[in-house]
């Protein structure tokens, strides 16, 4: 029964948060920032809610810290992709930009969370 309840909470929270973030992205100007409020924040928020209900605040703290480190890596990925894709093309630039994400994300993980 507990698993079914958590699934119901996940569906309701995830759906509600997707709608809220979609509304935010609809009103934000300029439209190039709409992606900041797309599905990823709502899924992450719903995941943290369900994790908190199921496993308690310690897991939420761990998962939230991992999300922050991944977001820092995403900043590096975005900056690298903006330059590398223009000069090397989509495939090579994307692969190298992924490496630009992995190095700071995993480096900070090893430095701070292990």
- The full set of domain ranges for the chain reads 1-55, 57-114
User: What is the arithmetic mean of pLDDT over 33-60?
Assistant: 77
Indicate yes or no: pTM above 0.75: no
Residues contacting 48, CB < 8 A, separation 6+: 60, 63, 64, 67
Q: Where are the alpha helices (DSSP H) in 56-89?
A: 57-88
Q: What is the pLDDT of residue 12?
A: 81
CA distance 112 to 114: 6
Q: Is 1's pLDDT higher than 80?
A: no
């Amino acid at each position: 029964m507990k698993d079914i309840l958590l699934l119901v909470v996940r569906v309701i929270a995830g759906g509600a948060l997707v709608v809220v973030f979609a509304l935010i992205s609809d009103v934000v100007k300029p439209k190039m920032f709409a992606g900041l409020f797309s599905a990823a924040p709502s899924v992450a928020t719903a995941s943290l809610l369900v994790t908190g209900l199921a496993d308690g605040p310690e897991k939420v703290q761990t998962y939230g810290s991992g999300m922050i480190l991944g977001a820092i890596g995403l900043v590096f990925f975005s900056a690298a992709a903006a330059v590398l894709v223009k000069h090397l093309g989509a495939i090579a630039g994307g692969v190298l930009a992924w490496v630009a994400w992995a190095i700071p994300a995993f480096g900070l993980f090893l430095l701070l969370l292990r």
